[in-house]
């Protein structure tokens, strides 16, 4: 601050004023004239250059518009072709599933025609097999691609144009039985023959009792009675629900490892295992109905059609990827999910109760369920289908936390695409639409599975429908490449134009610089002459004044022993003589003041001590018994003497500080010991005011370097202020903590606080914010001044804050007129720490 102040004074001194005045009168007109001439020349050149640049920019803009139009047309064409291709792939996939299901019709009819023999049934079971992809167990979060063979290139140059080759998929395929079980059931519902797990089973059950069926959920036997010869019963997908959990992360929605299988997201999870049961009656040669044969298809073979299909260049994948949005899935004729990249979305049953697990609802609908008295299954049964479906809704968090989130499109009211699929398959057709889902535009296709056997012939929707989701940005990747080339060309052309403009500007600016340089040399030469003359004239005036200013600043900092050499007899010389006389008088006055304070303090301390001993003796009964009235008067006298003693001690300390005679005796000190000593000295005063003082000095607070007696004096001053200026039965807290390599001690109270205007002045000598209160409690206005000096000599700091912010000291009751005050003392750590 001192250096900055000197600079400010120099800037506005005599010499700068003379230099500026001469420069303004002589140099400014010349500089303005040169500037105007150079500016006019430069503007003429730049106007011509701007016209040429504008023409170039116009050409570039036309090229950009043409490129944007071409890219838009390319994107639309690619989108249409890609959409048509994925729609066709969806229809073909649905037809393949239907063909596969019709083959099972032939199997059940064939089984009804063969003899009822366990060996024959076992032979049929063993011959009915189909390959499925069995993914290799994952070694980490990313499953390696099975394509490891090099891509074959063209051999004949005539074939190289747009050559595309895909190597065969090398997935790990295994042969798996088509059926989980084959049975013959008599007319009473008792199994007579049963093939399970590749062998004849002896565990023959009465399936007319639903508790003996898969998941306790099959009621097929009651439906077989009405079947005629050649008629087939086909169940819906039945299997135990496999739970799963989704969680939100910074990277998006993730599948928890303990969840069901979820393709790439959780390749090691437990898979959904369900069946679809076929049944038909068996008749004797005379037309007598003997019973029924059933085939329980392993639902894995149906899921194989969709689990590995992806609408990208890869075409097929070992693991589907539900997180990417590029995958296929399957719904039954009642809009329930029966195949999905995440198996916990597949609709299933509770094996304990035989009841279906209710579908996932939006939080809005789930909250309505909680307000009623129905079970969740009963509540869903009475919900209208496809009502108020909106993308803004969120899924029920309670169902997510429970891991029970099967998808039932009829009530999945936060997924509007469900309503689109349902509507599009009402007539047994196929199609697609775009939807903005999870922050991306996605194409979703749908196609009816045209299988109409048994119950599936009740609607044109047949067995159900296949849907495929695809990211739209992947469609027009080629157009994006073209866009990059066009933008790169435009950017290069823009760079060329800019380079030409920059070269022309440089030529114009170079010419202008030459003119400005000539004018600058002339101006600079004139300025040097003027500045030299100004310095020569002003040096004889400013030199003595600067010396006088430096000496005055030194005296203001307390260094009173100053003297100026008188080098002339002019006005500055006489001013220097007068200053020297004034400095000598100030030194003498300061010496007399210090001697007076020191002598007066020493002379007063002896009688004060004697009076204090005498009064204490009389109060102690050494002069005989005294009455209560005399005791009360003596206590008043003792308090006054004690106040006088503190005032004398403070004056003596202040005198030592100002005369730089106060010395510090430093050692390594315990913060707790300092605070405990100060509290002990003030214990009587604390009890008198009935305050509660709490010290929170933890054992982790390190040692500080300081003068023990002086630091105790600081905290006696701070604590006595809090004790005196806090109303009766107050609370005072002392806390220590380590911050940025320093120990910060806080003395806080719940008194009336200190006004904001007074917080910067309380450390000034003899300052008292409240004169009446200070006279009442005996304050002299010196304690905080002395404390500030002691702390700063320890290379620390002391500050005050009032009122105390809410929550800073939770155990310090504030409120009403009690605003509180906190003093913060920062002390350096001991060098040994």
Contact 69, 421 (CB under 8 A): no
CATH of the domain at 690: 3.30.565.10
DSSP per-residue string spanning 522-563: HHHHHHHHHHHHHHHHHHHHHHHHHHHHHHHHHHHTT-----
Q: What is the mean pLDDT of residues 546-563?
A: 63
Contact 90, 467 (CB under 8 A): yes
| 18 or 740: which leads in pLDDT | 740
pLDDT at 9 over 50: no
For residue 270, what are the contacts with CB-CB under 8 A and spacing of at least 6?
A: 242, 260, 261, 343
Beta bridge partners of 437: 440
Question: Which residue in 328, 323, 416 sits closest to 93, CA to CA?
Answer: 328
DSSP per-residue string spanning 447-499: EEE---SGGGGSSTTBTEEEEEEEEGGGTTHHHHHHHHHHHHHHHHHHHHHHH
Does one domain contain both 470 and 495? no
CATH of the domain at 176: 3.30.450
| 87 or 600: which leads in pLDDT | 87
- Predicted confidence (pLDDT) per residue in 148-167, tens digit: 567 788 888 888 887 887 77
Complete edge-to-edge strand list for the sheet that includes strand 199-200: 199-200, 191-196, 179-186, 289-298, 275-283, 233-234
Does one domain contain both 450 and 504? no
Does one domain contain both 419 and 512? no
Does one domain contain both 65 and 214? no
Write down the pLDDT at residue 318: 78
Q: In angstroms, rounded to a whole number, what is the distance separating the alpha carbons of residues 561 and 607?
A: 35
pLDDT at 530 over 70: no
Binned at pLDDT 50, 70 and 90, residue 488 comes out as: confident
Cis peptide bond upstream of 26, omega within 30: no
Q: Is residue 8 part of a domain?
A: no
| Whole-number percent of the chain with pLDDT over 70 | 68
Beta bridge partners of 800: 823
Q: Is residue 410 part of a domain?
A: yes
Total number of domains in the chain: 5
Q: Is residue 151 part of a domain?
A: no
| 40 or 748: which leads in pLDDT | 748
pLDDT at 514 over 80: no
**Which residue among 528, 545, 566 closes a domain?**
528
Q: In angstroms, rounded to a whole number, what is the distance separating the alpha carbons of residues 483 and 532?
A: 67
**Which residue among 475, 507, 538 closes a domain?**
475
pLDDT at 571 over 90: no
Between β-strands 692-696 and 731-739, what pairing exists: parallel, antiparallel or unpaired? Answer: parallel
Does one domain contain both 669 and 655? no
Straight-line distance from the first to the last Cα atom of the chain, in angstroms, rounded to the nearest whole number: 33
The one-character DSSP state at 412 is -
Q: Is residue 335 part of a domain?
A: yes
Does one domain contain both 62 and 210? no
93-97, 530-534, 769-773: segment of lowest average pLDDT: 769-773
- Predicted confidence (pLDDT) per residue in 601-631, tens digit: 555 555 765 666 666 667 666 766 777 776 6
pTM of the full structure: 0.53
Does one domain contain both 320 and 380? yes
pLDDT at 305 over 90: yes
581-585, 637-641, 733-737: segment of lowest average pLDDT: 637-641
Q: Is residue 720 part of a domain?
A: yes
H/E segment holding residue 696: strand 692-696
Does one domain contain both 126 and 178? yes
Mean pLDDT in the chain? Answer: 81
Tell me the residue range of the domain where 325 lies: 308-475
Distant-in-sequence contacts of 408-411, Cβ < 8 A, 24+ apart: 408/335, 408/336, 408/337, 408/347, 408/358, 408/359, 408/360, 408/380, 409/331, 409/335, 409/336, 409/337, 410/334, 410/335, 410/359, 410/383, 410/385, 410/386, 411/359, 411/361, 411/365, 411/380, 411/383, 411/385
Does one domain contain both 102 and 125? no
| Whole-number percent of the chain with pLDDT over 90 | 41
Q: Is residue 202 part of a domain?
A: yes
- Predicted confidence (pLDDT) per residue in 633-643, tens digit: 666 666 566 55
Write down the pLDDT at residue 807: 81
Write down the pLDDT at residue 748: 94
Does one domain contain both 404 and 500? no
Contact 298, 176 (CB under 8 A): yes
Binned at pLDDT 50, 70 and 90, residue 14 comes out as: low
Does one domain contain both 469 and 454? yes
Contact 715, 674 (CB under 8 A): yes
The Cβ-side half-sphere exposure at 113, using a 13 Å CA radius, reads 7
Does one domain contain both 694 and 781? yes
Write down the pLDDT at residue 384: 93
Q: Is residue 599 part of a domain?
A: yes
57-71, 451-465, 815-829: segment of lowest average pLDDT: 57-71
129-138, 288-297, 580-589: segment of lowest average pLDDT: 580-589
pLDDT at 62 over 70: no
Q: Could you give the 3-state DSSP secondary structure of residue 659? A: coil
Write down the pLDDT at residue 85: 81
DSSP per-residue string spanning 139-164: SSSSPPPS--SPPPPPSSGGG-TT--
The one-character DSSP state at 249 is E
**Which residue among 641, 662, 683 closes a domain?**
662
Q: Is residue 626 part of a domain?
A: yes
């Amino acid at each position: 601050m001192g250096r900055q102040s000197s600079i400010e004074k120099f800037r506005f001194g005599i010499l700068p004023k003379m230099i500026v005045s001469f420069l303004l009168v002589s140099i400014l007109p010349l500089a303005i004239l040169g500037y105007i001439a150079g500016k006019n020349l430069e503007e003429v050149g730049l106007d011509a250059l701007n016209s040429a640049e504008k023409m170039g920019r116009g050409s570039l803009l036309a090229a950009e518009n043409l490129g944007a139009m071409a890219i838009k047309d390319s994107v639309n064409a690619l989108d249409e072709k890609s959409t048509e291709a994925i729609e066709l792939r969806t229809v073909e996939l649905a037809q393949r599933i239907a063909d596969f299901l019709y083959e099972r019709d032939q199997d059940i009819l064939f089984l009804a025609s063969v003899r009822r023999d366990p060996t024959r049934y076992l032979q049929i079971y063993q011959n009915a097999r189909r390959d499925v992809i069995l993914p290799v167990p994952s070694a980490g979060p990313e499953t390696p691609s099975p394509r490891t063979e090099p891509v074959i290139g063209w051999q004949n140059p005539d074939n190289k144009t747009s050559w595309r080759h895909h190597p065969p998929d090398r997935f790990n395929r295994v042969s798996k039985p088509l059926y989980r079980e084959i049975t013959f059931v008599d007319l009473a519902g008792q199994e007579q023959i049963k093939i399970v797990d590749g062998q004849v089973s002896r565990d023959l059950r009465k399936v007319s009792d639903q508790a003996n069926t898969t998941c306790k959920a099959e009621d097929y036997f009651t439906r077989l009675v009405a079947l005629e010869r050649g008629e087939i019963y086909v169940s819906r997908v039945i299997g135990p629900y496999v739970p799963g959990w989704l969680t939100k992360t910074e990277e998006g929605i993730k599948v928890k490892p303990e969840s069901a299988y979820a393709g790439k997201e959780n390749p090691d999870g437990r898979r959904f295992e369900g069946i679809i049961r076929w049944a038909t009656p068996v008749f004797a040669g005379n037309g007598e109905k003997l019973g029924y044969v059933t085939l329980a298809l392993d639902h894995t073979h149906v899921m194989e059609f969709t689990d590995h299909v992806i609408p990208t260049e890869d075409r097929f994948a070992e693991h589907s990827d539900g997180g990417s949005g590029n995958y296929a899935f399957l719904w039954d004729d009642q809009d329930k999910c029966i195949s999905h990249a995440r198996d916990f979305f597949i609709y299933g049953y509770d094996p304990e109760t035989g009841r279906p697990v209710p579908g996932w609802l939006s939080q809005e609908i789930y909250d309505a369920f909680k307000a009623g008295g129905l079970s969740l299954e009963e509540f869903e049964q009475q919900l209208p289908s496809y009502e108020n479906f909106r993308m803004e809704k969120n899924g029920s968090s309670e169902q997510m936390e429970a891991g029970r989130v099967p998808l039932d499109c009829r009530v999945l009211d936060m997924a509007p695409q469900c309503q689109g699929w349902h509507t599009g398959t009402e007539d047994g057709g196929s199609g697609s639409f775009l939807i903005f889902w999870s922050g991306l535009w996605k194409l979703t296709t749908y196609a009816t599975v045209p299988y109409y056997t048994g119950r599936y012939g009740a609607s044109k929707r047949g067995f159900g429908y296949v849907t495929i989701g695809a990211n739209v940005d992947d469609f027009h990747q080629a157009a994006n490449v073209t866009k990059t080339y066009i933008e790169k060309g435009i950017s290069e052309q823009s760079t060329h134009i800019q380079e030409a403009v920059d070269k022309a500007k440089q030529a114009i600016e170079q010419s202008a610089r030459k003119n400005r340089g000539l004018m600058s040399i002339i101006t600079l030469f004139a300025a040097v002459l003027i500045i030299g003359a100004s310095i020569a004239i002003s040096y004889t005036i400013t030199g003595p004044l600067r010396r006088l200013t430096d000496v005055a600043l030194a005296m203001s900092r307390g260094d009173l022993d100053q003297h100026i050499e008188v080098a002339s007899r002019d006005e500055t010389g006489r001013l220097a003589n007068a200053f020297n006389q004034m400095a000598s008088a100030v030194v003498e006055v300061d010496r007399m003041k210090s001697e007076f304070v020191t002598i007066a303090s020493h002379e007063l301390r002896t009688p004060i001590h004697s009076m204090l001993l005498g009064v204490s003796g009389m109060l102690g009964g050494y002069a005989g018994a005294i009455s209560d009235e005399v005791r009360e008067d003596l206590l008043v006298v003792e308090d006054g003497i004690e106040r006088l003693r503190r005032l004398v001690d403070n004056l003596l300390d202040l005198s030592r500080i100002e005369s730089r005679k106060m010395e510090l005796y430093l050692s390594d000190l315990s913060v707790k010991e300092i605070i405990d000593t100060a509290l002990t000295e003030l214990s009587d005063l604390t009890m008198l005011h009935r305050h509660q003082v709490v010290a929170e000095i933890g054992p982790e607070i390190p040692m500080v370097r300081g003068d023990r007696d002086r630091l105790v004096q600081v905290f006696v001053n701070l604590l006595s202020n809090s004790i005196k200026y806090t109303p009766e039965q107050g609370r005072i807290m002392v806390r220590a903590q380590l911050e940025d390599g320093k120990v910060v001690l806080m003395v806080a109270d719940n008194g009336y606080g200190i006004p904001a205007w007074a917080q910067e002045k309380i450390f000034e000598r003899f300052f008292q914010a409240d004169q009446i209160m200070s006279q009442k409690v005996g304050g002299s206005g010196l304690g905080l001044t002395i404390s500030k000096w002691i702390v700063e000599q320890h290379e620390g700091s002391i500050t005050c804050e009032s009122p105390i912010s809410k929550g800073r000291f939770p155990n310090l009751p504030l409120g009403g007129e009690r605003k509180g005050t906190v003093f913060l003392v920062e002390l350096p750590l001991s060098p040994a720490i």
